[in-house]
Each structure stands twice: as structure tokens, then as C-alpha cells.
Structure 1
């Protein structure tokens, strides 16, 4: 759960089956010593308070609702070794300027903590405090089963008072995609957690670690913890300073008022990370990676799938909408840094401002190979294939507020996005523009000339036409070749108002091709 932040979030939980087992325990808190059962090492149940820590992340974050602000949000964590290594959630600590830690509920002495390693997709991070022979929590060795009694420890709501809640395992091993994580192995339980419990331990009655709490839904009484097995799989890498499925952002999938995914919002960026070197800033919205729309379902699932497929150290293309100056950028993680894309609206005397009228939505062709952001009012889509007069097959779509009128005249606004691998050998961007211009002069359209077009993935030309048809429409066409050489793309936008012209920039700067 996120602390001190207002959010409009969706949680998607896909369940799997689990076996059942029941164990009993007593509920008490103290400062005790070692466990005598269910695993070796670490504190026992009475010693949990001594090994659980409260973490305060200090720094500047950018909220989609509050803008930039100085944050001193608090979460929880716990020591996992006597030499001061501690586990928490990535979203508690990533991107912070400084980290302070309190042990044993003692607010009189703050300790400095150092970030060691993190995982955005698994929402885990390891930090380290100075010290030796410290109490720590050991991993449970027994299987984890449905109906096992569990306890959530931590510091909810930023309160410095150590707190524990009791419950049972509802689902012993399920998957869960949330706006800030994507996990294959999660424990669902009913030991209630609240904001500030993030990163705290979920333990059994011996005080052994069952999972790491990271999300909750009070309305549906759902509490989620990262499964012990998932934690053990990467904890040694994190302790060694190796990030896992991480580019250095503290982010979340952002949705609009209607629940439609808009992209992955960047709350903060870790200094020196791949995201930082690429030029990603807090307040950016990541819309596409490697041609895949991210955050479209309101979760981090697609973002993490791209990282899993390509690896966090690979060169990964990314498209960004920068809210601070209303611009669009393309670039690469571990490659070419972000650069502004061409503002095609300038070709017809427009500006690169966002269009009004209800925001944008992402649409795709029937094959799923071509995606683009369009105004929500453009609700009619034809995603069928197209074959040109050279017999080249194009994947793509046409989208409009009135698709029939858009295809047959100048009365309706809309856009066409086409891409072809076959056309690479038989056509050029200039020839595509020639093809797109056929019949335009007969409709009264006047060209303002051709201009160079370039973004982080494509090179070509664009042409702007004015005074088309009885509505005096504007028609903007971009033809470009992928720098990889894989395909040719054609993007056309028909605009009847200033808002439509502004929307052309979003359309052109958001199209993604997965050929």
C-alpha cells in the first residue's frame, strides 16, 4: 500500500488453487530471543518488534493529482541479517533523496540507511543500516498453506507505535497485478494492513517470514504479501547490489476517471539508474516500451513483461509524454537518451498542446501489431488489413468519430495508422507520401510542403495539407521507415478544429508498431 498519497487505482488479482492446513499460535509481543521450531536462526515471535523497522523516505516526488511535493512518507521493513541488511518495498524507498530508519519502535534515534538493490516489478528492495549482531527475521522453512494463521507486523499510517494484526492465509499462492507491481507468487490473507505497513513482514506463529506485505484493499478486505519463495529467489542478488527487473523508477500505472489505463506514471527516479540516464523525469508518463503500450490495463503487467522479455540491461525503446511542458519524447533505456519528437501540428500553424474533450484512449488493429493513442471521442475503429497497389500487406487501423464519413469525405475527423514489412523493399517514405497525396489537389487541398520527420525509432518526412473539401479540413501525413529497417509506417490525421490539430501530435507521437 502507498503511504501519504491519494490514488485512483485498480487491483487485478488472478487466483490459483492452494492446499489447506491449520496451525495455532498465541499473540504476544516482547523482546525475546531465538526460535525453537519451524526454522533456524532469527528472532522468535516475541522478538519481532526488535527486528521490524520503520523507514522514512525523504525527497521530492511528483504526484499525478498533487504535482511536485517534498515527501516524508513512512513505511515498514525488517532486518534479514545480523549485519544490518533489511527488506522493504521498492515503492517505499526508490527515488528517495535520503532514508532514515528507526529500530525497535525507538523514535529518539534515527539511523541512516543506504539503498542496496531493488526490483520494481516485484516491489522489493534491500537497504542497509550500520550495526552488528542485530536481531533479524528468518525465513519460514515449512510449506505455506491456506488457513495458516499469520501476523502482519509494522507501523501503519506512519504511527511510530509497533503494531500487529492477526489473520489467516486466504490463498497460499496466487498471482497479482497491481498498478505498482506484477507478481506470479503472492499470498492473500486477512491480517489487516494499512498505509505504512508497506514492506513489513508477514510471519507465522514462530516469528518466521511468510511474506512481505505490499498492497491492500480496505473496501474488499484484501491484503497481499509477496510470497516467501518469490523473496528468496532474488534476495541474494538484491543484497549483492544487483537490481532485478528494475530500471530505476518509482512508478504506478495511471488510470483516468473512467478506469482507462493511460500509461506508467513516474513518481520519482533513482539517481544513476537506466531511467535517469535515459532522461526520464518525475512526472513523466511512460506510454510505450518496445512498441508495447504499458499501463493500458491499469497495472504494471505489460511494463514488467517487456523487462522480462528483453532484460533490464538491454536497449529498450520507450515513448514518454512529459506533463511538465506538454511534450512527447522517444528514446531508449540503455541507449539513446530521450529527445523530443517532431511537432507535426506546427506544419499547419498549430501548437503541441493536448486536445480537449475527455482525454485519450489507446486503440489497436485486429492483429494487435499497431497501436496508437486517439481522442476518446474517436470511438469507431476499423482494424482490418490493407493491401496497396504493389501488393504489399499493411497492418493498421482507421479510427474516427464517424468511420464511414471519415473514409468517404471531409466531414469527420479521424486518423489512419498503417505499417508494412513487405513495403520496405519496394517503397520509400517519399513514395508513401506520393501515394497518400493522390486525389488531394482535386479536393482543393493545398500542400504546405514536405518537412523532415524523425523520432527515436523512425526517420522520414511529413506533409501538411490545408483547405481540403467543403469543411476546409487540414490533413497531416507522416511517412517514415523504422531505423531498425523492419517496416515502413504511414500515419495520417484529418483535422477540422484546433483541438483536432493538437491531437495530431499525440497520434503521431504515440503510434507503436510490433512487427
Structure 2
């Protein structure tokens, strides 16, 4: 028999977030959506699949206007605004990005890829796509198809959620530039796609119309925006970042993706409308916006139970770089929310937008190469607590010490989130543990704190050692964690197998593993840890009877959190 009552923690202020403890086999057949970069051996993390249509419609054919003379391009203007689509060439640029990107299928590659962009001010600021430049070591820019001279560029600001970047080629100033359109995008609007497709240094201009003024904003897997422009101006990899021009030479949108539709054999081409792009570009004048500083795309594999954002490149000095996120990592959760489950960037960008730029965010990544799960806190104000930390897995440590959960030893639990009655804390528990206590607990001084207990039968869990379940609560910071753990007195009923420090990058404390509880085969794990910023502490206890219960403990550790 176990004691009828246990000491409870005195309690809580909010803390941050808990993350996972899983070990995954390596076999990731990922499917990433189309992007628009080009280059000799460019990695396929964004899988350029914008296949050339076999038949080009007359109204999206290549425009055959006389190209600008190279000398005219090199000496064009003194920083004036372009006023016609057929005069736009001197303000359109080709970007050759050299660097190392990590592809989920072929691994790390140091290579060059190319995209397009356009100048927006005479001092040499230019717009392109985030996926064209982020993660690159060098950016070489050719202006207007002039291959006789190139310029180095630097990234002023970037946003993976909007797939936009602002770069500076000021050494070439003054330059002719393009202005944003201020007219609403309407279906049927005539547009011209300008750029340098397929890495070709020769300037290309194609004509088309807007097929949908407000197509879905999560279609490409390259961003998450309110809507996109769907158009039929023929584009290829390498057009990414180039302008979609109106007849009067103003920018109606930024082309950023094209490819064969998943549901049909039709080719689709997408742009970011000016009313969405222009405000983001203005914000990027001050630096990154709605961004962790990655070049990435969603991955999902139902068979392996993997979903997240595959990181192919990381911007030096960015939030992701400071937390030691690496190319090849899969961001599986942010602030406790699973990423990429719908094959889009939506959840990733929703978390960034909700938290706000520069705000602390809990992060979990799966490091594919080493099969490690790591967690930490982005934008952590404590300088020595910014790096990702590998997490322990109790399933790895003690799973073999318990009875199998079924005839074949397979884990049999499914999970659901439980929230306390204060609506302050949450944790995922097996759906089979349907008997919950979520009432606040109160100490002798009348102070209440949030509390969750879950088991198939809470009364039996409270009284016996052969009923699995868990208790989770949050508490004020605990000065003496070892003394706090001693107060539970589990040594009276169990054998202490291990006492060890706990550090997951967000919480630091101790855990204890007990065996032979009540003279039987049950095990118990008790964990207490303070948040690294001193705001509070977490206390969790789980009683384990089968190997499935150990997986349930790992699931709890990867999901317990404060609500919101």
C-alpha cells in the first residue's frame, strides 16, 4: 500500500515550457513544396519543381521587347523611378547566393543558387525572397542583366513567415528603382513577371494575368501570409524574388513560388501582393521581422510520427543561430505547439506573431543526425542559457525494467491535453487515464495553486502501487530542491535507484527514480526544477507499471506547460 496522502508543493507562478523525450529511427521521406531558386547543384530542400509547361498560352508568352543595352543598364538613370514595365530592366537584379544548405535527402551542400530581386530606392535597397538569401555566406548581385560587373550585398532584414528579404547593394548607388503599386489587385489584371529564371544571366520578361486575386496564403509551404496572387505569367526557378509589374511599371507583387499543383497537372505561379509585401519591407529596414532567422520548410511523416519545420539554413547572428539551431534540425514545437502537422508554416508563424519579435519562446528540435531531442528557450534574457540542451528520455533509461504494455510490447496509449480549473497549466496524458482532478490545491495559509492529477482510477492511484498515473503542479521558485524532494518520503516505500541533476535548457533541478515500490514491480519518478529565469518551478510525479507508462511520462515532460 502507498501512503494515503503525499506532501504537495507550495505554489505557483507561471513558468515556461516543457519538451519531448523521444528517440526516432532515421528514415525521413519528406515532401517539400515548390520554391523558385535555381542553380547548378542547388539543394532540393525547397524542391524546385516548377516544370516548364509543354504549351505556353499566347498571353503568358515571353515578351519580345528589345532588351536594354548592357552599357545603358550599367549607366542607367540617376536614381529615378521606373514608369513603364518595358523600362524596368535596370531596376531588376539577379542574386547569386553562395553557401551551405542542408537538404533532407542529400545532406549538406556548399553550392551556389540564384534568384531575382528588384531595387526599391536609389540608395541601393532591394527586395527578394527570404529563401533566396538566408543561410548564404555570400551574395553577389548583377543589375539589369549586366554581367560585366557584380556587387556584394548584405541582408538588412528577413522574414521566413513572409518569405521576404531586404538587401543592401548601396555601393552601386544611385540606381533606378521600382515603386509599389497602390491599386487593388483584381482578377484579370495584366501583369509582367521580370527576372532571371534558371540561372540565366539574360533578363526575361513574361506576360500574364492575375488568375486569383486572393488565393490561399499557405499553399506553397514557404511562408504563411493572408493570401497570395495566383497568376499565369510563365516563371521558373530563379524567378523567385522578382517583381510582378503592372503596365505602368509599378510592383503589384513579389513572385515567390511556382510548380505543378498537387491535385492537378496544372502549373501554378504565386506572388506576394504589394499590400502585404510593402509594409513588411518597411519593417525589415530595422532588421528581421516575424523571423527566427532560418531558411526552412514544413516536413511531415505520419508513419514515423514526425512533423516540424526542416531547417536548411540559418542566418548568422539570428535568434536561431544564437540558440545553436543547426541546418538539418527539425523544429518540432514552439511554445508547446507542434509544428508542420498540416504541411504548412501556419502554426510556426502564428506562434512567432503571437509571441512578438524578441520575446522568449520555448523551442524543441529533433537533431536528425544524432537522433537527439533538444530543447531550450529562444531570446532567453539570461546569456548563459541560450543554447539548446539535449533532454533525457526515461523510456530509454527505465523502459526495459517494466512489464510490456501489450503482447507485442508496443506502446498502446493515445494522448489528450488536460487543463487545470485555473486555466493556468496543461499537460498531455493518456486518454485511458480519464479520471482527472483539476481542482486547485490550497495550503494552510489559504494560498491556492493550479494542479492536475490523472489516472484510470484516481482513488486506486492514490492508494495502490499497481495503478499508473501522474501529478503535475507549478510552484513558486524552490531554493532547496533536494530538500523539497526529500519531503515526499518515497524512500519509505520504494528503493532509490538514481538521483540526478535535470537541465533541459529551460528548467534546472533534480529528478529521482525509484523501483520496487510497495514491494512490487512498480517504479516512480519524481521531478522538481526551477525555471532558469527564476519565475517559478515545476513539480511532476509519475507512477509507472508498464513500459507504456514510461512513454506517458516522456509525453508529459514534452508537453507540460503554462496555458498560453
TM-score normalized by structure 2? 0.69
**Structure 1, unaligned stretches of length 5 or more?**
10-22, 34-39
Please state how far the C-alpha of 1:293 moved relative to its aligned partner.
3.5
- Which residue is 1:234 aligned to? 280
Q: Secondary structure at the match of 1:313?
A: coil
Counterparts of 2:106 and 2:369, CA distance in 1: 13
Does the aligned pair in 1 maintain the 2:244–2:252 contact within 8 Å? yes
Tell me the SS of whatever aligns to 2:186. Answer: coil
Hey, what does 2:298 align to over in structure 1? Answer: 253
Contact conserved, 2:453 with 2:469, CA < 8 A, in 1? no
Please state whether the residue corresponding to 1:462 is helix, strand or coil. strand
* Counterpart among 320, 337, 362 of residue 275 in structure 1: 320
CA distance in 1, matches of 2:489, 2:273: 58
Tell me the equivalent position of 1:142: 183
1:464 aligns with 2:518: no
Unmatched tracts of structure 2, length 5 or more: 1-34, 48-58, 73-79, 401-408, 443-447
Are the counterparts in 1 of residues 373 and 391 from structure 2 also a CA contact under 8 Å? no
Offset at residue 53 of structure 1 (A): 1.9
Residue 540 of structure 2 corresponds to residue 490 of structure 1: yes
State the match for 1:44 in structure 2.
Answer: 84
The within-5 A match list for 1:77-92 is 77-92=117-132
Equivalent of 1:215 in 257, 271, 295: 257
Cα displacement string for residues 413-466 of structure 1 (whole angstroms, at most 9, x for unaligned residues): x985x6445x6599x97799789997995xxx6431433323333244322244
Whole-angstrom CA distance in 2 between matches of 1:190 and 1:199: 16
1:299-310 matches, cutoff 5 A:
299-310=344-355
**2:221 corresponds to which of 174, 179, 194:** 179
Q: How does 1:58-73 map to 2 (within 5 A)?
A: 58-73=98-113
SS of the aligned residue for 1:167 comes to strand
1:27 Cα deviation (Å)?
A: 4.3
RMSD: 4.7
Residue number in structure 2 paired with 1:331: 377
> CA separation in 2, counterparts of 1:467 and 1:77?
66
- Against the structure 1 CA distance between its residues 67 and 438, is the aligned structure 2 distance closer, same or farther, given a 3 Å change threshold? same
2:330 counterpart of 1:285: yes
> Contact between 1:43 and 1:135, CA under 8 Å: does it hold in 2?
no
1:184 aligned counterpart, secondary structure:
coil
Deviations 1:2-61 (A, max 9, x none): 53443589xxxxxxxxxxxxx99994433469xxxxxx9315221233332221211112
Q: Deviations over 1:332-365 (max 9, x none)?
A: 32533124255254994789xxxx999x999634
Q: Is 1:199 the counterpart of 2:241 in the alignment?
A: yes
**What is the aligned partner in structure 1 of residue 93 from structure 2?**
53
Per the TM alignment, residue 496 of structure 1 is displaced from its structure 2 partner at its CA by 5.4
Higher strand share: 1
Q: Is the 8 A contact 1:365 1:371 kept in 2?
A: yes
CA distance in 1, matches of 2:275, 2:340: 26
CA contact (8 A) 1:328 1:509 kept: no
Cα distance 1:365–1:510, how it changes in 2: closer, same or farther (>3 A)?
A: closer
Quote the Cα distance in structure 1 between the aligned partners of 2:259 and 2:61: 26
Work out the CA distance in 2 between the residues paired with 1:138 and 1:362.
Answer: 52
**Is 2:367 the counterpart of 1:322?**
yes
Q: Aligned pair 1:265/2:301, yes or no? A: no
Q: Is the 8 A contact 2:441 2:451 kept in 1?
A: no
- Quote the residue 2:44 is aligned against: 6
Q: 1:342 to 1:5 in 2, by over 3 A?
A: closer
Task: Indicate conservation of the 8 Å contact 1:347/1:448, yes or no.
Answer: no
Specify which of 112, 115, 138 is matched with residue 75 of structure 1. 115
Matching residue of 2:4: none
Q: Is the 8 A contact 1:54 1:77 kept in 2?
A: yes
Is 1:30 matched with 2:66?
yes
- Cα gap change, 1:24 to 1:488, in 2 (>3 Å): closer
Q: In structure 2, what is the Cα distance between the partners aligned to 1:128 and 1:393?
A: 51
| Structure 1 residues 350 and 126, CA gap change in structure 2 (3 angstroms) | same
- Max radius of gyration: which structure? 2
- Superposed CA deviations along residues 205-238 of structure 1, whole A, max 9, x for unmatched, are 2332100112234125333211101222132343
CA contact (8 A) 2:185 2:273 kept: no
Query: Do 2:90 and 2:143's aligned partners in 1 also have CA atoms closer than 8 Å?
Result: yes
Q: Cα deviation per residue 1:475-509 (whole Å; 9 max; x = unaligned)? A: 54434454554563426485856x99799667635
The answer to whether 1:311 aligns with 2:347 is no
Distance 2:236 2:414 in 1: 32
Partner of 1:297: 342
Q: Aligned to 2:172, what secondary structure does the other structure show?
A: coil
Structure having greater relative contact order (Cα 8 Å, sep ≥ 6) = 2
Residue 116 of structure 2 aligns to a residue in which SS?
strand
Deviation for aligned residue 1:469 = 10
- State how far apart, in whole Å, the 1-side matches of 2:231 and 2:108 are: 34
